[in-house]
């Protein structure tokens, strides 16, 4: 893909100088003090810059201060395009951006490589939480998402090798199901779990501590420069009111998950591993687990954890942080909490099979009730029974990606719990057939017999049928 020269189409910003500038100055090395410790901020030295006139007199164009490959912009655009997403404060969608693609990509590259790129405000959107309340998402513009992706592509490979194996959230080659699996095995070995949740992580990250971590790992001045600018880009709420940000990184930004992981790497992961090396733990973003041998040990660690997070500007969620007894066939004591939810699964006492096929009461994961309710609610919104304009093939093509995703994730452990979903989907299909075909209206038994024949003839038509979870049709 070739870039065009800078134009005016598709951009709401006023023309900006492309002279070499460091708006915030070059970030100095963090080697002067350890990361996550208070440090005196020193003066910032501005890099020497030659005037445009001097360069033109020598017969060549002004040099860009930042060497950013144009193809990195193209790669970032493709990733943003793949992820889709809503428009930001400028109202421009990806389709709008694509109408003058070359010019718009050139503009991003030109401004980023010249040091003149200034992030626009972030559109704040409130979405409901599953647990109640609201979460504020920050939606950057399309151009800003591409710019953030450029920095992420450069910065993430530099911090990733430093992250510890038991951090699973928002990382390449790491997944939630890996976190579930390692937790399942550790619950066999340890009778106690300290579950913690960080209240409002993305809203409360301290900029000073985060930027020291960024300075430690970033290898180019432009990474540091633009991360600083994104951290302070204002939020615009639904009423159009502009709000300054002095802490946090918008949940919804492309670069935010990497920054949040970096902050928690020093705040929690590395701190715990250094001070309590015998404790096995697992963290996925702002949710974490510590495995303990005794209740007393768990209580002690909870106190230390509160102190540590408080020192770094964070707070544990009081209702979502608790100590759990992993009750099973061997552990028979009675305690207040004997189950916990983690990443859509509930860990509790269940009937399971050992390696020899014998049944016993173990402590194992299975899809949580809240996750099941969420899936049923999603299926309900499809209104399959009312879609008589669709063929059964059309319906299968629409719902199968959802079904495969649910089965691939929630079906890894205690798959039988998904039987309720299979049954519910089949019931919607029965209702659809009885409305679509005259000869089946009011004739449920005949409709059931028709679907049972279809199941035998086309067992792979629907994803849950193919996986052996056809469910009941009654």
Task: Locate 429 and state its tokens.
Answer: 């299909």
Residue 62 lies in a domain: no
Same domain, 228 and 339: yes
- The domain in which residue 120 lies consists of 70-363
Same domain, 285 and 409: no
Q: How are strands ordered across the β-sheet holding 192-197?
A: 280-284, 287-292, 192-197, 322-325
In 3D space, the residue among 202, 121, 119, 217 whose CA is nearest the CA of residue 160 turns out to be: 217
Are 329 and 361 within 8 A, CB to CB? Answer: yes
Same domain, 388 and 249: no
Are 121 and 90 within 8 A, CB to CB? Answer: no
The CATH number of the domain holding residue 171 is 3.30.70.270
Same domain, 352 and 321: yes
% residues pLDDT > 70 (the chain): 86
Same domain, 143 and 254: yes
CA-angle at 28, arms to 23 and 32, nearest 5°: 155
Averaged pLDDT score across all residues of the chain: 87
For 239, 327, 426, 458, 468, the CA distances from 384, given in Å and listed in that order, are 37, 41, 10, 20, 22
Residue 431 lies in a domain: yes
The secondary structure element, H or E, covering residue 11 is none
Amino acid 474: pLDDT: 56
The secondary structure element, H or E, covering residue 362 is strand 359-367
Domain end marker among 312, 328, 363? 363
Amino acid 62: pLDDT: 54
Neighbours of 267 (CB within 10 A): 25
Of 117-126, 129-138, 406-415, the range with the lowest mean pLDDT is 129-138
Q: What is the CA radius of gyration of the chain?
A: 27
Residue 21 lies in a domain: no
pLDDT tens digits, one per residue of 238-295: 888 888 889 999 888 999 999 999 999 999 999 999 999 999 999 999 999 999 999 9
Residue 348 lies in a domain: yes
pTM above 0.85, yes or no: no
Same domain, 345 and 389: no
Which residue is associated with the tokens 């420069």?
Answer: 225
Residues 194-221, mean pLDDT to the nearest whole number: 97
Same domain, 239 and 302: yes
Amino acid 326: pLDDT: 98
Residue 94 lies in a domain: yes
For 93, 198, 224, 255, the CA distances from 250, given in Å and listed in that order, are 20, 16, 17, 9
pLDDT tens digits, one per residue of 72-131: 999 999 999 999 889 999 999 999 999 999 999 999 999 999 999 999 999 988 887 776
Residue 52 lies in a domain: no
pLDDT confidence bin for 48, thresholds 50/70/90: very low
Amino acid 33: pLDDT: 36
In 3D space, the residue among 460, 462, 391 whose CA is nearest the CA of residue 426 turns out to be: 462
Q: Please tell me whether residue 203 adopts helix, strand or coil conformation.
A: helix
Same domain, 373 and 351: no
Same domain, 356 and 378: no
Give the count of domains, the chain: 2
In 3D space, the residue among 353, 388, 347 whose CA is nearest the CA of residue 367 turns out to be: 347
> Residue 3: is its pLDDT beyond 70?
no
């Amino acid at each position: 893909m070739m870039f065009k020269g800078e134009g005016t189409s598709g951009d709401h910003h006023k023309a900006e100088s492309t002279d070499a500038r460091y708006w915030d100055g070059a970030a100095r090395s963090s080697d002067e003090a350890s990361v996550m410790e208070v440090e005196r901020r020193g003066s910032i030295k501005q890099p020497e810059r030659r005037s445009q006139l001097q360069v033109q007199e020598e017969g060549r164009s002004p040099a860009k201060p930042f060497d950013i490959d144009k193809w990195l912009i193209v790669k970032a655009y493709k990733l943003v395009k793949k992820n889709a997403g809503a428009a930001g404060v400028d109202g421009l969608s990806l389709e709008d951006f694509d109408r003058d693609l070359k010019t718009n990509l050139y503009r991003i590259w030109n401004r980023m490589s010249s040091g003149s790129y200034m992030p626009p405000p972030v559109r704040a959107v409130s979405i409901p939480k599953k647990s109640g309340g609201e979460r504020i998402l920050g939606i950057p513009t399309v151009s800003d998402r591409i710019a953030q992706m450029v920095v992420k592509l450069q910065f993430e490979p530099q911090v990733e090798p430093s992250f510890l194996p038991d951090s699973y959230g928002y990382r390449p080659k790491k997944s939630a199901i890996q976190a579930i699996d390692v937790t399942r095995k550790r619950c066999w070995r340890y009778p106690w779990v300290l579950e913690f949740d960080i209240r409002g992580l993305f809203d409360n990250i301290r900029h000073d501590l985060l930027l020291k971590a960024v300075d430690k790992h970033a290898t180019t001045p432009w990474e540091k420069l633009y991360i600083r600018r994104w951290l302070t880009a204002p939020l615009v709420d639904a009423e159009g009111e502009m709000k300054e940000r002095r802490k946090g990184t918008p949940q919804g930004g492309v670069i935010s998950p990497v920054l949040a992981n970096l902050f928690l790497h020093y705040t929690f992961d590395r701190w715990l591993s250094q001070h309590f090396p015998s404790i096995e733990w697992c963290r996925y973003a702002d949710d974490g687990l510590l495995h303990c041998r005794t209740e007393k040990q768990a209580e002690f660690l909870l106190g230390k954890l509160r102190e540590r997070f408080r020192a770094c500007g964070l707070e544990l969620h009081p209702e979502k942080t608790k100590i759990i007894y992993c009750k099973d066939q061997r552990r028979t004591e009675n305690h207040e909490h004997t189950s916990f939810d983690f990443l859509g699964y509930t860990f509790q006492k269940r009937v399971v099979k050992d390696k020899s096929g014998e049944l016993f009461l173990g402590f194992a994961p299975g899809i949580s009730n809240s996750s099941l309710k969420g899936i049923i609610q999603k299926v309900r919104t499809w209104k399959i029974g009312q879609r008589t304009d669709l063929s059964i093939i059309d319906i299968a093509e629409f719902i199968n990606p959802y079904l495969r995703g649910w089965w691939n994730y929630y079906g890894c452990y205690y798959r039988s719990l998904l039987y309720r979903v299979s049954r519910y989907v089949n019931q919607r299909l029965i209702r659809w057939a009885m409305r679509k075909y005259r000869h089946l209206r009011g004739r449920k038994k005949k409709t059931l017999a028709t679907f049972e024949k279809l199941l035998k003839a086309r067992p792979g038509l629907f994803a849950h049928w193919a996986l052996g979870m056809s469910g009941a049709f009654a």
